[in-house]
Amino acid sequence: MKVLLVYAHPEPRSLNGALRDFAVSRLRGNGHEVEVSDLYAMGWKAVLDAGDSLAPRASARFDPSEDARRAYETGMQRADIAREQEKLLWADALILQFPLWWFSMPAIMKGWVERVYACGFAYGVGEHSDTHWGDRYGEGTLAGKRAMLVVTAGGWESHYAPRGINGPIGDLLFPIQHGTLFYPGFQVLPPFAVYRAGRMDGARFARVRAELGQRLDSMWTTAPIPFRRQNGGAYEIPSLALRADLAPGRSGLGIHVGEQAAAS
C-alpha cells in the first residue's frame, strides 16, 4: 500500500521527529511505499493568498474559493499545491502527525489543508439535489482512502478524558477528523495520541513506539470511526439536521458517530 505522512514539527531531534522516523521505517519494513511531506523542512507556504494561482486576476477581488477552483480547473495552481494533491491521489492512506498546539494542528499544517484542499478538489464537488448535498462527508475525491492522526500533547491523558478540563480528545479533534478528513471522503481511524510528551523517558518511549507500531501494522484492518454519511439517509436535506429518530433527543458532536460496523 502507499502511505502519505504529512508531518509538522520544527525540530527533527524531537519526540515527533523520532516517532516520524519510526513510523516511516515500520511502514517500509511492512512493505509499504511511504512519501513524507515534512512541512517545516519543505519551507511550506502556510498562508493561502492570491499568489496560489499562477494567473491571478489582477483587477478582481480575490475570492479564496473561486480563485482556487479556477486555478485548479485550468492547471494554474502553484506547483507546491498540485504536488501535494498528486500525493493525496497516489496514497491509499494519509497520516497527519503533529504536536497539539492550542488544541489544534500547527499553523503550517492548517495552511497545508487550506491550500491543498482546493475548491473542486476537496470540496465543492458533486451535485446538489433533494437527496444529495454534494459529494462530502463520506463521499468525495478521497473516498476509499484511510486517514489517521498521530498527535502529541503536553497535558495528561486525564485532562483529555471524557470529563477532563481540556475537553475529550475526540471532540477537540472533531474539526479535523470529521470536518477535514471525513469531509472529502477519508475513512478515519481512531487517533494515536501521546500525552505528557514533554516528560518522556526511555521506557515509556519504547512503549509508545510499540503501540504506534501496532497501530501502523493494523492500519488496513482497524475499524474506522463510524461517522455517519451525509447522503446515506441519516440527514434531512437541505437542513442537514440528523433525522429525529437517530440519537433521539441528543445533540453535540457525538451524534454524528453511528453504530460501529461488525469488527473486521
What are the residues binding its own copies (CB under 8 A)? 10-11, 13-14, 40, 46-50, 61-65, 99, 101-108, 110-111, 113-114, 117, 137, 154, 156, 158-159, 161-168, 171-172, 174-175, 178-180, 198, 230, 235, 238-242, 251-256
User: What Rg, from alpha-carbon coordinates, does the chain have?
Assistant: 19
Which CB, 1 or 255, lies closer to its own copies?
Answer: 255
In the complex, minimum distance from the CB of residue 173 to its own copies, in angstroms, rounded to a whole number: 9
Distance of closest approach, residue 133 Cβ to its own copies, in angstroms: 9
Q: Which is nearer to its own copies, 22 or 62 (CB)?
A: 62
Amino acid identity for residue 226 in this structure:
P
| Minimum distance, C-beta of residue 63 to its own copies, in the bound complex (Å) | 7
Characterise 124 by phi-psi region: left (phi > 0), alpha (psi -120 to 50), beta (else).
Answer: left
By CB atoms closer than 10 A (0-12, 13-18, 19+), residue 144 is exposed
Give the nearer residue to its own copies in terms of CB position, either 122 or 219.
Answer: 122
**Conformational region of residue 261, where left means phi above 0, alpha means psi within -120 to 50, and beta covers everything else:** beta
Of 138 and 219, CB closest to its own copies: 138
Q: Please say whether the dihedral angle defined by the alpha carbons of residues 8, 9, 12 and 13, taken in this order, is positive or negative.
A: negative
- Of the pair 29, 254, the CB lying nearest its own copies is at 254
DSSP 243: P
Pick 4 or 116: Cβ nearer its own copies: 116
For residue 256, give Cα distances in angstroms to 27, 97, 171, 183: 31, 24, 11, 12
Residue 145 near residue 93, CB atoms below 8 Å: yes
CB of 206 to its own copies, least distance (A): 20
> Per the structure block, which three cell numbers stand in for 110?
492548517
* Least Å from the CB of residue 118 to its own copies: 12
Q: How far is the CB of 144 from its own copies (least distance, A)?
A: 21
Shortest distance in whole angstroms from residue 28 CB to its own copies: 26
Lookup: cell for 39: 512541512
CB-nearer residue toward its own copies: 151 or 216:
151
- Cβ(72)–Cβ(119) below 8 Å: yes
